[in-house]
Amino acid sequence: MKQEYTITVYTENHIGLLVRIATIFSRRKINIESLNTSPSEAEGIHRFTIVIDETEEVVRKLARQIEKQVEVLKAYYNNNEEIIWQELALYKVPTAQIAEKVKVERLLREHGARAVVIRNDYVVFETVGHREETDRLVEVLAPYGLIEFVRSARVAIIKESRGFHEKLREFELAEPKDELIENEFLNQQKEVFSM
């Protein structure tokens, strides 16, 4: 059964990796619903958050293909029950309309929105939440001449995760090898990880 999955990928910060990861999806004609890149809790380690609508089997194979990339440290996938996620949305509306026709205070309260900019010509509101929540405010504001709307990619945190630092240590220590000594990542852990 297809459902929303969030793939979290820990990577080196490397030019060209975005293309390599993106083509893993495009080659299989899978649409990426949302993609975010950001730093992670570990310095120098980047984090991709990718949302797709697929079956678990497909997602599992995709995660392995992603992990196969030389500069990818680890890829996890989770369904919506297993993560906490947010998206941020911005709405630009004409000030005159809003001031006349909307009870701004109620609007802000009901939708957890706040005004980011207030000018003579327009006001920019911001909300943070799940897609349905940010979509609802679009519906509310549409009659008042919504000038611009934009929503960010999803950012997500895995509920069960003890953080990537712990996971990576586990992964590295599963079977200690001579190689470990060579691993600058672990050698520098005290400096690198400030969680």
Partner 1 sequence: MAIETATQVSSPLAQADTASISGSKALLEALVAEGVETIFGYPGGAIMPIYDALYDYPDQLKHILVRHEQGGIHAAQGFARSSGKVGVVFATSGPGATNLVTGLADAMIDSTPLVAITGQVYAHLLGTDAFQETDVINITSPVTKWNYQITDATEIPSVLAKAFYIARSGRPGPVLIDITKNAQLQLFAYAGYQKCNHIRSYRPKPIIRKEYIEEAANLINAAEKPFVIFGQGVILGKAEKEFANFIEKGGLPAAWTILGLSALPTDHSLNMGMLGMHGNYGPNVLTNDCDVLIAVGMRFDDRVTGRLDKYAKQAKVIHLDIDPSEIDKNVKATVGVWGDCKETLPLLTQLIESKSRTAWIQRFKDHDAEENKEVIFSELHPDTPVMTMGEVIRNLNEISGGDAIIVTDVGQHQMVTCRYARFNQSNSNITSGGLGTMGFALPAAIGAKFGAPERTVVAVIGDGGVQMTLQELGTILQTEVNVKILILNNHFLGMVRQWQQLFHDKRYSFVDIASPDYVKLAEAYGIAGASIESRDQLNEALSAMYHHPGSYLLEVNVGKENNVFPMVPQGCSVSEIRLK
Can residue 70 be called a binding residue for partner 1 (CB under 8 A)? yes
Can residue 59 be called a binding residue for partner 1 (CB under 8 A)? no
Can residue 67 be called a binding residue for partner 1 (CB under 8 A)? yes
Q: In whole angstroms, what is the distance from residue 81 CA to residue 104 CA?
A: 33
Which residue, 36, 24, 128, is CA-closest to 68? 24
Can residue 174 be called a binding residue for partner 1 (CB under 8 A)? yes
Can residue 81 be called a binding residue for partner 1 (CB under 8 A)? no
Closest CB 12 distance from partner 1, rounded Å:
5
Can residue 68 be called a binding residue for partner 1 (CB under 8 A)? yes
Among 7, 52, 72, 158, binds partner 1 (CB under 8 A): 72
Which residue, 66, 12, 67, 68, is CA-closest to 40? 12
Among 3, 12, 115, 170, binds partner 1 (CB under 8 A): 12
User: Can you give the binding site for partner 1, defined by CB under 8 A?
Assistant: 11-12, 15-16, 19-20, 23, 27, 60-61, 64-65, 67-68, 70-73, 174-175, 177-179, 182-185
